[in-house]
Structure 1
């Protein structure tokens, strides 16, 4: 306080708790260790990325930083990690998987020529390879407006359940839901009465598989790696749960479970048919070695073996020699997307319809903040957390904007209230920028978005 004659003056300015920052990226200098990931600043995208400025040459577009035809530019809001990303960073993924990051949710900030499924301002979810950065360009066929959005591409019949989808929830969905739809619906054709063995049942894919099996009336047999995960999966309505760490104990438990299930469903245990039915109909596998071999022994004649693993898996020729009666599919959604992006657009529309009708719901998420100054909650912590297989549900990395941080630091955030969380994650409020098309206005608007 300063006294000047008859006047008393008090300080009116204080240092803001909001950290001023620009666009950032999680850069991988070389594969081999999670510690090789470094958060660093990156350039803003040009402000004039639009179809009017696109040139006739895709190469020239790339050189000038302009969007090629059919692409869209996203301000990334959240990234869903997959184990593929951990293998990528560790240098253990077969082939060249490109930059880490795939599942994402974001806001469209620019579109290239020929794009009609999304428009500027849409909140979208889908795939954007290398999306661990504030801005990323992707094929517009790989994203779709969130349920409940006002985009013409989004159904107008979306339910209230879908309309409150948070950014981190949406980022958790694309790969896990597409994988389960391909594996259990399109290929295995799971139906009521089927017995389905789901390995790693507490993960994102496992939870999506459980949800689908319960919807169609199939019985789930799950494996997990800890007592805490066992309790969690049991809370999802799964009765038969065993270990994913000990192949001998797993096989013993499964034989017991199948006998119990047959007895409970009044199957004739003394008949030859009853003995044959003491097996599972479908295996959704992600485990190698002895667990894979035990799973094959538990699979009934003419069963369906859906392989999601990337290392130590059977080739089709090996499976034919070992079990010629089995329908075997090694599923790699990433390769399917690369070969046919239009197929994935159709899959995203299917996922959106399932969300809108309530047939699927997002898994629980464990969220980290890519811009966090704390080593316990940043992006590297997210990778290490997933590497140790500690998660139940989906690991997500958030990329909050300055506006999000302003809303959180104002004290108005109520994370236990879903409506307030939606407001925070989907923008945190409305900001009016006067003179928004002038030089300063554009800079302020971009600062709010980033």
Structure 2
């Protein structure tokens, strides 16, 4: 259930705004089967909020961790219910909102509460959906592209002419990172399962590496004639750490974005870090303070919204499910078969 918030003066809040809505909740931590659809109160609008009728909702790996109990019953700023990413139409807004109006099409990142028909979002975490872009597809943009931009450019400082190795390149953030790196003029090495080769190359990868049958460190060494890559974007964690470090060129930067393979048992080759003058960064969005997340969203929007409008970069959508079928969407993500984003679609009523 959403944490109660004292209502403050709002502007442009239609009298037709419903009092309740369908949302996906869970009473106990566990597998996908714990997710159920239930009527809950519509969140009250705070001064900086937009209230958005969702057209689509992005499913993220953080949602799976939330369902399993990794965060406990945490409150993430907007709701303690699940979900981080929305796209839809503004139906009401707070008295201190700037730059948006009721009726605007928006997309963005929320601090919980996305798995619902309506969500509140701080307007500083929202972005306009480019004209001509499908509103459902817009639900596949914010979380993955903001995360990818932060890793590639704000932390790793990737620029044209450099090379980057992107792991899990068929996933949501991975496919976004491949597109951004390609659009920025970098040479892109990308790992994924061999059955996803076409999709990854279609996103702009220059060198595809099948992680099941090839050693990415050996491929990078061979193709770069032993130099290595300038940047590595990693989602795997401990099992890849040594090879990631050894795949970096002098002055290289490693950014850790996830721990799909676990966090324990890794040995860091400190001699390589020292003598190659390497840098290692970690980044996660969910637990960052609101002002940090707002800055991350704005950095992406300022640099890439025109490219999104022009189709230079695009959301990659694997599949869509009805909101009430969130459990099936989680099973799809856990299967490892997805390419790009999985979306939930609330039913119009």
TM-score under structure 2 length normalisation:
0.82
Q: What residue number does 1:259 align with?
A: 222
2:299 is the alignment partner of 1:347: yes
Alpha-carbon distance in 2 for matches of 1:290, 1:66: 45
Alpha-carbon distance in 2 for matches of 1:144, 1:210: 22
Write the deviation string for residues 55-110 of structure 1: whole angstroms up to 9, x where unpaired.
xxxxxxxxxx6422111211111111111111211224599464321111021111
User: For residues 164-243 of structure 1, what are the structure 2 equivalents within 5 Å?
Assistant: 165-225=133-193, 227-243=194-210
State the shift of 1:38 in Å: 0.4
How many residues of Structure 1 are paired with residues of Structure 2 in the alignment?
319
The one of 131, 135, 147 equivalent to 2:118 is 135
Alpha-carbon distance in 2 for matches of 1:95, 1:309: 22
State whether residues 168 and 365 of structure 1, in contact with CA within 8 Å, keep that contact through their aligned partners in structure 2: no
Alpha-carbon distance in 1 for matches of 2:283, 2:106: 25
Q: What residue number does 2:284 align with?
A: 332
Q: CA RMSD in A?
A: 2.7
CA shift in 2, pair 1:345/1:221, >3 Å: closer
State the shift of 1:136 in Å: 1.9
Alpha-carbon distance in 2 for matches of 1:241, 1:365: 20
State the shift of 1:230 in Å: 2.3
Q: What residue number does 2:66 align with?
A: 88
State whether residues 48 and 96 of structure 2, in contact with CA within 8 Å, keep that contact through their aligned partners in structure 1: yes
Structure 2 residue matching 1:68: 3-state secondary structure: coil
CA shift in 2, pair 1:337/1:352, >3 Å: farther
State whether residues 144 and 348 of structure 1, in contact with CA within 8 Å, keep that contact through their aligned partners in structure 2: no
Write the deviation string for residues 129-178 of structure 1: whole angstroms up to 9, x where unpaired.
22101122222211122112xxxxxxxxxxxxxx2x12221111111111
2:70 is the alignment partner of 1:105: no
Alpha-carbon distance in 1 for matches of 2:237, 2:219: 23
Alpha-carbon distance in 2 for matches of 1:71, 1:296: 43
Structure 1 residue matching 2:313: 3-state secondary structure: coil
In proportion to residue count, which structure has more helix? 1
2:59 is the alignment partner of 1:77: no
State the shift of 1:281 in Å: 1.4
2:345 is the alignment partner of 1:395: no
State the shift of 1:395 in Å: 0.7
CA shift in 2, pair 1:95/1:199, >3 Å: farther
State the shift of 1:213 in Å: 2.1
Q: What residue number does 1:155 align with?
A: none
Q: For the pair shown, which has the larger CA radius of gyration, 1 or 2? A: 1
State whether residues 80 and 168 of structure 1, in contact with CA within 8 Å, keep that contact through their aligned partners in structure 2: no
In proportion to residue count, which structure has more strand? 2
CA shift in 2, pair 1:299/1:333, >3 Å: same
Alpha-carbon distance in 2 for matches of 1:79, 1:230: 27
The one of 265, 269, 288 equivalent to 2:237 is 288
Alpha-carbon distance in 2 for matches of 1:381, 1:236: 26
Structure 2: unaligned runs, 5 residues or longer: 1-19
State the shift of 1:379 in Å: 1.5
Alpha-carbon distance in 2 for matches of 1:107, 1:133: 14
State whether residues 71 and 112 of structure 1, in contact with CA within 8 Å, keep that contact through their aligned partners in structure 2: yes
CA shift in 2, pair 1:94/1:347, >3 Å: farther
Q: What residue number does 1:367 align with?
A: 320
Structure 2 residue matching 1:42: 3-state secondary structure: strand
Q: What residue number does 2:38 align with?
A: 40
State whether residues 90 and 104 of structure 2, in contact with CA within 8 Å, keep that contact through their aligned partners in structure 1: yes
State whether residues 78 and 105 of structure 1, in contact with CA within 8 Å, keep that contact through their aligned partners in structure 2: yes
State the shift of 1:295 in Å: 1.5
CA shift in 2, pair 1:93/1:200, >3 Å: farther
Alpha-carbon distance in 2 for matches of 1:90, 1:396: 20
